[in-house]
Structure 1
Amino acid sequence: MKKFIIHIFIISSLLSCKNKPPFLTKIEGKQLPITEGIKSKQEIEDFIKPFKESVDKEMNTVLSYTPHNLVRTDGELESSLGNLMADLCYLKGNAIFNSRTGKNIDFAMFNYGGIRAGITQGNITTQNAFNLMPFENSLVVLELSSKKIEELVYYLITENKAHPLSKQFNLVITKDGYNLKINNKPFDKNKTYFVLTSDYLQTGGDNMNFFKNSISSYNLDYKIRNTIIDYFKENDTIKVTLDGRFMKEK
């Protein structure tokens, strides 16, 4: 019995001494600042040179011309760049939507924060289009109820910003409320409206929750950046005006 106990003890000791698999106990990081002191490798530069030259050539391609600076800050509730972006997206997007459905988009709306850069007077290049819209967002058409349109109007009034709106939408803030016309007709609470926007805003981005849970939706499979580039290619001179599509009653 004594020998049996000794054998059990020895076996237990051997098992307890068995090497356990290693496991991570700590992670340490070290910051390596990128400075001018870091020397480049010539073989790497030679390798990427043709790709860089090709990209630079494409980005510097002249698409159009603007006689004035296009920015999002030159109006109180509308802007030259916002009007341009909404109108060109409506024009290009409606052609696709109509060809597929036989219907027309009522108006286009995007977000103020979606305009990422202005365009200075002079030649407009592909780089300008990428700076204006660096995201991979696409155009979508949403069918909204009149209640959703009212929520949209309340959002615009509350935000008090120059969100891009196409010229089919005309909103005037009055002392007693607001007056809204869509396609030169008074807002009709008994109908639905087709609104063009981005797939980002469709999900409630920028707190535009009225775009969520639409009656129907249509993805045009057309990136906004490509829409902008195509429009610039088709128009050698860009003309934009502030026409009072969203304003306060004087």
Structure 2
Amino acid sequence: MKNFIISLFTVLLIISCKNEPQEVVKIEGKLIPINQEIESVKEIENFIEPYKQKVVAEMNTILTYAEIDLVRTDGGLESTLGNLMADLCFKRANPVFNSRTNKNIDFAMFNYGGIRAGISKGAVKMENAFNLMPFENSLVVVELTAEKIKELVTYLIKNKRAHPLSKHINLVINKTGYSLKINGKSLEDDATYFVLTSDYLQNGGDSMNFFKDPISITNIDYKFRNAIIDYFKETDTLKTNLDGRFRIEN
């Protein structure tokens, strides 16, 4: 009888310990606002302080100087800041692209909305570069057909915004339509063109769908912000102007 009781107890124990499927029946959340009512923890503050001071010092590092205020709104269909950004990215990216492909980028194009801050006249700090490009976007080169370039031009004309274009493209809207030159030459229908842009735009960001499904794409493993910082570091004084690379002629 004793053995029977022990055996029965063992069976019941095994059954009670059997893993049954678990289901979530309720999820509760609580909003904890981050405000001045939350008291800081001195130990955490002391631990973070050295890192905070290091970041502050780095952000205040002077990289270059600006002769004038650089903004995205000073030129209608182009801007001093947009021209600078497109030109500097081309200058930094083309040697990398050329070393990998033995080819050259034809021009660079980015989006007006990607310029997140201006640069004031005077000292330009590391902080300015981060404010200018706070996103982790990378530079890519897409190979586009002439038809895709025509779609790009149609987009520019329809939007009439100062999207950053490098100096290698000259687009003029006139009474009969438009005139387009790329590196001083008219568009060739049977040619392809290498365009520098960001991975965000290449995926159709800002409705730039002409960048999607290119003939080829080359990710040059170069962050947009890093290109800006590297150019600032190597340049004593930022020089740019409004040169009519995208304009309307009456």
User: Fold-level match, TM-score > 0.5?
Assistant: yes
**2:4 aligned residue:** none
**1:31 aligned residue:** 31
Q: For residues 52 and 193 of structure 1, what CA distance do their matches in structure 2 show?
A: 45
Q: For residues 53 and 153 of structure 1, what CA distance do their matches in structure 2 show?
A: 47
**2:52 aligned residue:** 52
Q: For residues 181 and 204 of structure 2, what CA distance do their matches in structure 1 show?
A: 24
What 5-or-longer segments of structure 1 have no aligned partner?
A: 1-14
> What is the SS of the residue equivalent to 2:238?
coil
Q: For residues 22 and 145 of structure 1, what CA distance do their matches in structure 2 show?
A: 56
> What is the SS of the residue equivalent to 1:193?
strand
**2:96 aligned residue:** 96
Residue correspondence of structure 1 range 162-173 to structure 2 within 5 A? 162-173=162-173
Q: For residues 22 and 105 of structure 2, what CA distance do their matches in structure 1 show?
A: 62
Amino acid across the alignment from 1:89: C
Instruction: Please state how far the C-alpha of 1:33 moved relative to its aligned partner.
Output: 2.5
Instruction: Please state how far the C-alpha of 1:165 moved relative to its aligned partner.
Output: 0.2
What 5-or-longer segments of structure 2 have no aligned partner?
A: 1-14
Q: Any runs of at least 4 consecutive aligned residues in structure 1 with deviations exceeding 6 A, and if so which? A: none
Q: For residues 213 and 37 of structure 1, what CA distance do their matches in structure 2 show?
A: 51
Amino acid across the alignment from 2:167: K
Instruction: Please state how far the C-alpha of 1:216 moved relative to its aligned partner.
Output: 1.1
Range moving further from structure 2, 143-152 or 51-60 = 51-60
Tell me: CA distance 1:44–1:188, structure 2 relative to 1, closer, same or farther (3 Å).
same
**2:80 aligned residue:** 80
**2:11 aligned residue:** none
**1:8 aligned residue:** none
Residue correspondence of structure 1 range 100-115 to structure 2 within 5 A? 100-115=100-115
Amino acid across the alignment from 2:98: N
Size of the aligned set, in residue pairs, is 234
Superposed CA RMSD: 1.8
Instruction: Please state how far the C-alpha of 1:22 moved relative to its aligned partner.
Output: 7.0
Q: For residues 94 and 114 of structure 2, what CA distance do their matches in structure 1 show?
A: 20
**2:192 aligned residue:** 192
Amino acid across the alignment from 2:126: T
Counting aligned pairs with the same residue, the percent is: 65
Amino acid across the alignment from 2:75: G
**2:67 aligned residue:** 67
Q: For residues 190 and 23 of structure 1, what CA distance do their matches in structure 2 show?
A: 61
TM-score (normalizing by structure 2): 0.89
> What is the SS of the residue equivalent to 1:228?
helix
Amino acid across the alignment from 2:154: Y
Residue correspondence of structure 1 range 140-151 to structure 2 within 5 A? 140-151=140-151
